[in-house]
Amino acid sequence: MISRRKMLALAAAAPFCSALKSSAGTPGRAQAAQTAAASKSYPRMGGTPTAFMARFMAARGGSTPFDMIEHCHSIGLAGVQMNPPSVDPEAIRQFRRQLEKYNMHLVCDPRLPKQDSEVSAFEEQVKAYKEAGATAFHAAMTGRRYEDYDRLEPFRQMFESCKKQIELAEPVLRKYKIRLGIENHKGWRSAEQASWLKQLGSEWVGVCLDFGNNLSLCEDPMDTARVLAPYACFAHIKDNAVQEYEDGFLLSEVPLGEGIIDLKQIVQMLRAVDPNMIMDLEMITRDPLKIPVFTSKYWATFDDDYSPLPGRDLAKVLALVKKNPPKAPLPRTSGLSREEQVKLEDECNLKCIAYARQHLNL
C-alpha cells in the first residue's frame, strides 16, 4: 500500500488558504467576517490528492493520466490541492485557465528549501504557483513519528531540520505575500507545533489543520483544534473511526458523519478564525492505521522535558476508543481489485460531499 506521504509526492499536491493577515483584528479579516455574516454563504469544500489515491494508482502507467481538476469539478468539489505540471509560463497559463473555467481554488506544495542553495529554486516555484492562482501553500513535513523513530534524538534532529527549512522559506513567502500551512501530520503534538509557530512569529506561516491526525498522538480532536485553530489558514476535513486492537487502537478515515469527530463544532471554530476558511476533503480510503500505544517504540520519542505526552491524554483517548466502537466495519482496501478500490473510494467521497452540503454548509 502506497503511503500518504508518497501519494502527496506522486500527486505533487496541497489545500487552500486565505492570504489575509493572521490577526483577527486586521481590516481585511474584519471585512471578510462582515461579508460572510451578511450572506451566510461560505466557500465550498475542495479535494486533496489523497482522497483519490485509488484513482491516481489506477491511472498510473496508463495512456490517460488522472485529471484531478476535471474529476473534482464533476463530483461537485470547488477546489484542488495540487501542483501545476511545471513552472513553464505557458503551462502555468493553461493550468490557471482550467481552474478559472470552474472557479476553483488552488493550493500547492512547493518543495521547501533544505539549504541556502535551494532557496532560488523555491522562489521560482512560489512565483510560478502564485501566478497559477494558488492562494496558499501546504507542507506535510513529517511521517508518523511512532513508526519512523525508535529514539528521541533522531526525532529531535528532524524537528530542528524542519525549523531550518521554514526559516529559509519564510522570507520568500513574505516577499510574495502567500501563506504556508504546515499540516499536523502525525509528527508533532499540537502544543509542540503551536509553540514553534508562536516562536517563529510570522503571519506567513500557519497551520493546515487536519481534523483527525493527532488522535494518533493521543489527542482528542477538539483539544487539537482548540490549540491549533488560532494558527490555521486552511484545513483538511475528515472524520475518523477508532477500534481497539491488541497493541492499542486502529484509526481509520470514514465518511463524514460516521466517525467520532465533532465536525460541526470544529468547522464553527475555524470559521470564527476566518469565515472564508477553506476545508478540503481528505477521505483516505485505505486499511486502518495501527496506533500501537501499548508498545515501547510508540513512547520512544516522548520525553517529559522535550516532548511530553501526559498520561491523562492517553487515558482520555483510550476512553474515547472504548466508548465509541465503529458504527460499521472500518473501510479496507486489502484484497480488493483496483476497480473495487476505485468504487469504494468513490462511494466514500460522495457520502462525504452529501454530508458536507447538508450539515456543514460546504
pLDDT tens over the chain, length 362 residues: 445 454 444 444 333 233 223 333 333 444 444 444 444 578 899 999 999 999 999 999 888 999 999 999 999 999 999 999 999 999 999 999 999 999 999 999 999 999 999 999 999 999 999 999 999 999 999 999 999 999 999 999 999 999 999 999 999 999 999 999 999 999 999 999 999 999 999 999 999 999 999 999 999 999 999 999 999 999 999 999 999 999 999 999 999 999 999 999 999 999 999 999 999 999 999 999 999 999 999 999 999 999 999 999 999 999 999 999 999 999 999 999 999 999 999 999 999 999 999 999 99
Among the listed residues 255, 254, 280, the one whose alpha carbon sits nearest the alpha carbon of residue 14 = 280
Among the listed residues 4, 3, 20, 11, the one whose alpha carbon sits nearest the alpha carbon of residue 203 = 20
Q: Are 144 and 293 in contact (CB under 8 A)?
A: no
Q: Are 338 and 54 in contact (CB under 8 A)?
A: yes
Q: Which residues contact 135 (CB under 8 A, 6 or more apart)?
A: 16, 17, 18, 19, 105, 106, 107, 178, 278
Q: Residues, the chain, total?
A: 362
The helix (run of H) or strand (run of E) holding residue 221 is helix 221-228
At 279 the pLDDT is 96
| Domain hosting residue 260, numbered range | 4-359
At 40 the pLDDT is 59
Q: Phi and psi of 54, rounded to 5°?
A: -65, -40
Structurally, the chain folds into a number of domains equal to: 1
Q: Which residues contact 153 (CB under 8 A, 6 or more apart)?
A: none
Helices 221-228 and 190-200: angle between axes, nearest 10 degrees: 0
Q: Which amino acid is at 44?
A: R
Return the C-alpha cell found at 61. 502507467
Burial 325-361 (b: 16+ CB within 10 A, else e): ebeeebbebeeeeeeebbebbbebbebbbebbeeebe
Distance from CA of residue 298 to its chain's centroid? 23
Task: Decide: residue 64, CB within 10 A, 0-12 exposed, 13-18 middle, 19+ buried.
Answer: exposed
Residue ranges of alpha helices (H) inside 4-118 are: 4-11, 27-39, 53-59, 68-74, 89-101
At 63 the pLDDT is 83
**255 vs 300: CA distance, rounded Å:** 33
Q: What is the CATH number of the domain that holds 349?
A: 3.20.20.150
At 10 the pLDDT is 45
**335 vs 237: CA distance, rounded Å:** 27
Q: Are 239 and 255 in contact (CB under 8 A)?
A: yes
Q: How many CB atoms lie within 10 A of CB 94?
A: 13
